[in-house]
Chain A
Amino acid sequence: MTAAMLAASFDVPANVAFGIVAALMIFSAVRVVTTTNVVHAALHLVVVLAGVGVNFLLLQAEFLAITQFLIYIGAIVVLFLFGIMLTRAEIGKHSGLDNSRRGVGVIVGLMLLAVLSYSLLRSFKGVHLTFGGSVSADNTRAVSDEIFSTYLIPFEVASVMLLAALIGAIVLARKD
């Protein structure tokens, strides 16, 4: 079987998986911003972040997918749960989580969605994904080669920024 035939036979299951995951993600994202329970919002966020990871897998970016699972679900959601705990948010239903500008929010969100989807549907109508030569088992090696050659300076800057954020967070949060 040639690579093109393999890609074509992969298309239907990939689309089905995408549909299911996308529906779950949109439902959970809406629950994150509408639920009246802070802990439920964090748990719905887990579903959205895992869905993004599955999307990375469908886009054949497996290193990024693993990074997404480890950093977002493993670290950032735990950080959010700590934040909820340390700020003594009411566990359980709580009606004061939204302000009175819900109408403005709905209007802004829907208008933004209309503009974005109109322009996307106009610009990229019928464009199929072409995995330009990146279909290989060596994706992780290729990504690391790219980071440590072309993007070496941004990588170093990012590490300095992480150090600054670490020190900043400690200085802000410590008690004295």
Chain B
Amino acid sequence: MLLNQFLLLAAVLFCVGVYGVIVRRNGVLVLMSIELILNAVNINLVAFGTSAGLAGQVFALFVITVAAAEVGVGLAIVLLIYRNRRSIDLDELSELKG
């Protein structure tokens, strides 16, 4: 197996995730796109780590941990936004705009 086949698959997933973060308005769907990006990074870490011991796998485990925490807090924030505004349209959250 070539190293590049995994890296290119991860690149495609990453770009699809970036597209989703830019285009989606629904807060939950933006969080799903972020998950795509994190998983692409995990594939990269493990693929690069095959030749260099276990550091890649350990860091992928840490990324999974951080992703779980991120989804928990992120969904809590989305729920709070929904409770306050009755909508999770991220384009309406423009109070910080000058």
Is chain B a partner of chain A in the same complex? yes
Point out residues on A near B: beta carbons under 8 Å.
11, 14-15, 18, 22, 25-26, 29-30, 32-33, 38, 41-42, 45, 48-49, 52, 55-56, 58-61, 63-64, 67-68, 71-72, 75-76, 79-80, 82-84, 86-89, 96-99, 101-102, 104-106, 108-110, 112-113, 116-117, 120-121, 124-132, 134, 142-143, 146-147, 150-151, 154, 158, 161-162, 164-166, 168-170, 172-173, 175
Contact A45 B64 (CB under 8 A): no
Contact A165 B36 (CB under 8 A): no
Q: How far is the CA of A38 from the CA of B91 in the complex (A)?
A: 17
Contact B1 A58 (CB under 8 A): yes
B residues 38-53 touching A (CB-CB < 8 Å): 39, 42-43, 46-47, 49-53
User: Which residues of chain A come closer than 8 Å to B4, judged between CB atoms?
Assistant: 120-121, 124-125, 127
Contacts A59-B46, A76-B71 known; 5 new A-B pairs at CB < 8 A: A32-B33, A99-B91, A105-B20, A121-B4, A128-B3
Chain B 1-25 near chain A by CB (<8 Å), digits 1 or 0: 1111111110111111111101111
B residues 66-85 touching A (CB-CB < 8 Å): 66-73, 75-80, 82-83
User: Which residues of chain A come closer than 8 Å to B51, judged between CB atoms?
Assistant: 129-132
Residues A29 and B67 in contact in the complex (CB < 8 Å), given A41-B32, A49-B39: no
User: Which residues of chain A come closer than 8 Å to B7, judged between CB atoms?
Assistant: 120, 124
Contact B79 A113 (CB under 8 A): no
Residues A29 and B68 in contact in the complex (CB < 8 Å), given A41-B32, A89-B26, A134-B54: no
Residues A169 and B22 in contact in the complex (CB < 8 Å), given A45-B32, A87-B88: no
Contact A131 B19 (CB under 8 A): no
Partner of A101, one of B11, B23, B60: B23
Task: Tell me, yes or no, whether B58 is within 8 Å of chain A by CB.
Answer: yes
Contact B57 A64 (CB under 8 A): yes
Residue of B nearest to A145 (CB): B54
Residue of A nearest to B91 (CB): A99
Contact B11 A87 (CB under 8 A): no
Nearest chain A CB to B25 CB, angstrom units: 5
